[in-house]
Each structure stands twice: as C-alpha cells, then as structure tokens.
A = this chain, B = another copy of it.
C-alpha cells in the first residue's frame, strides 16, 4: 500500500494508472476509520483495479463552533484498517496544499443542501462539495463510494456529479451498525458510557418509524412525535432535528407515500450523531 501526501505526486500516480488502462475506485474519508469505511473500500476492491482512499479532515465543512480541532485522528490505526480492506493508495493531502492562502473557489449545490443537516450546519455542504470536487479532480476515479449514513451528503454529491458532468459512478453503500443498532461513526468515540448506551435509541426510533408506516400511519408529524418521545426517554440525548422527506428530493412531505427518508440528528453533549432509514409506504 502506497501513502501519498502531495497533490502533484497523486496526480502523477493517477496518470500512470490511467495509462495502464486501469480503473480507479475512490473512497474519500476524514479518517478514524471504522467498519463502515472498510465496507466502502472492500466494495471498491471488488469492482475496480486500483483502490484509492483519501484521509483528510476538511476544515471547510466544519462550522466555527464545531469539532474540527478535536476530530479524532489516528493514522497508524487507519493505515492498518485500510490495508486490510484492500486499499492500494492512501492519499493524505495537507490542509495548506488543499487550501492555500489565496484559495477562493467554491462549489454549491443549491436547494438540496439547505434542509436537514444543511439547516443545522450552515456552509457544511459547500465545504463537502468543494472538497469532494477537488478530490475527484485530483484522483479522477471511475467509481466513488460513500455511506448512506450521511444520506443528504450522498444525494448532494450525486447531484453535483451529474450537474457538473463529472462522469463518475457514485455508489452509496448501506449503513454499518454496531450490535445494538447504533450507526458506526468516527464521532462515536466522543460518547461517554451513558451516552453510548442511550444512543441505541436513535436506531430504535427509526425502527419505530418503520413499524408505524408499515402499520398504515401516513402523517409524518405523528411519526416524528413518536420518535421524539422515544428519544426523550434518554436524558443524555437532545434532538437537533427529526425529518421525514421524499427520498430523492429531500422535500418535506405532508403525507407519507412512496419512498421516504426518515432522518435525524441528535446531540449527546457536544457530539452530534446522525442516522436514517429509507422507508416505503
């Protein structure tokens, strides 16, 4: 496994791979890898010739009061997980090279990026689309892999790729969960013992939503209230938002029909956890 930290070295490597006629599968991450990331890399391994994983904690997608500085980092551990998942190249760019002082170009996906997490985290998706556009332009992948856990991010990136004619096949892979249902996340490491135990209620509440809709409930407010009541039984959890939206457009629905995304963000202390399920009415 190669480790590359310079943008121009990465670009040279990409030219060599392309010249050999090999396909590139790309897994962009912020590191502190867990089995969700590994599942993306394994899928890239199965479907493309060369698997590139980027590890870059992107300052542009963090708000001023968010956890950029304390975001967990452990490169030795990441390297080990990446190697075992079949990664060929870790691309590990430096912040100063990604965003030099004169940097001033941004990519915006309007509309899709404004609700849900976009409303709670202004500027977040601009940071995500900008860095992913840059990484895509450096790595030039044939296929790129993202997790369904960040459902809105996945939809926003798919839209960017289509709108800007990037010609990349974006794959969204299922959420990987802990035994009690908690979605795997690098941020889970922040949780206290009590918060960690209580956090299982997030997925419980999403399962509850599924049961209600399967049982015929079509009023999103009733489903959301039931989810909220369930989460409130855990005093360490504070709801940021719970939404039921059209799965493709992320528009709020008045009545549940077709494919919907039930999505939530919940604070445990300062730690913001997200989770979601796609449900069919």
Contacts and interface: CB of A to CB of B under 8 A. Distances in A.
A159 interface: yes
B109 A159 contact: no
Contacts of A160: 105
The dominant DSSP class at the A interface is mixed
B105 A11 contact: no
B107 A107 contact: yes
A19 B20 CA distance: 10
How many identical subunits does the complex contain?
2
Contacts of A137: 164-167
Contacts of A134: 163-165
Contact of A104 (B103, B138, B163, B165): B163
B165 A105 contact: no
A6 to B, nearest CB: 12
Interface in A8-46: 11, 18-19, 21
A165 B133 CA distance: 9
Contacts of A163: 103-105, 134
A106 interface: yes
B104 A159 contact: yes
A269 interface: no
Given A104-B163, A133-B164, 8 more contacts: A11-B167, A18-B18, A19-B21, A104-B112, A105-B159, A105-B164, A107-B108, A138-B165
